[in-house]
Amino acid sequence: QKEVEQDPGPLSVPEGAIVSLNCTYSNSAFQYFMWYRQYSRKGPELLMYTYSSGNKEDGRFTAQVDKSSKYISLFIRDSQPSDSATYLCAKTRGGSYIPTFGRGTSLIVHP
């Protein structure tokens, strides 16, 4: 089992929809969780990181961690065509500075 599992999609939604992107993970040691966004032929860019369970909000984006079920989610409100990209979830393990990434989910927001 990979340490971070993510459905590759693609996920296609209409503009204005609420998008839910999800990952599951193994290994429950102390860790941080991250969401990165990657546009085509570009490097990933960090959207958000969180440590504790619960929600963290930044503008239209909300990251949610459920440590009891080992589930991490990213919600995008009022999705825009410019949100069309691949979204990568990642986490670090306790004592490690090396993030482990999921395969990424391709999101398409159509006008």
Q: Least distance to another protein from the beta carbon of 99, Å?
A: 4
Instruction: Provide the minimum distance between the beta carbon of 73 and another protein in the complex, in angstroms, as a whole number.
Output: 17
CB-neighbour burial class of residue 9 (10 A; exposed 0-12, middle 13-18, buried 19+): middle
CB 65 within 8 Å of CB 91: no
CB of 49 to another protein, least distance (A): 5
Taking the C-alpha atoms of residue 110 and residue 52, their distance in angstroms, rounded to an integer, is 33
User: In this complex, which beta carbon is closest to another protein, that of residue 4 or of residue 74?
Assistant: 4
Residues near another protein (CB under 8 A) are 4, 6, 8, 32-34, 41-46, 49, 51, 88, 90-92, 96-104
Nearer to another protein, 5 or 17 (CB): 5
Measured distance CA(32)–CA(48) in Å, rounded: 11
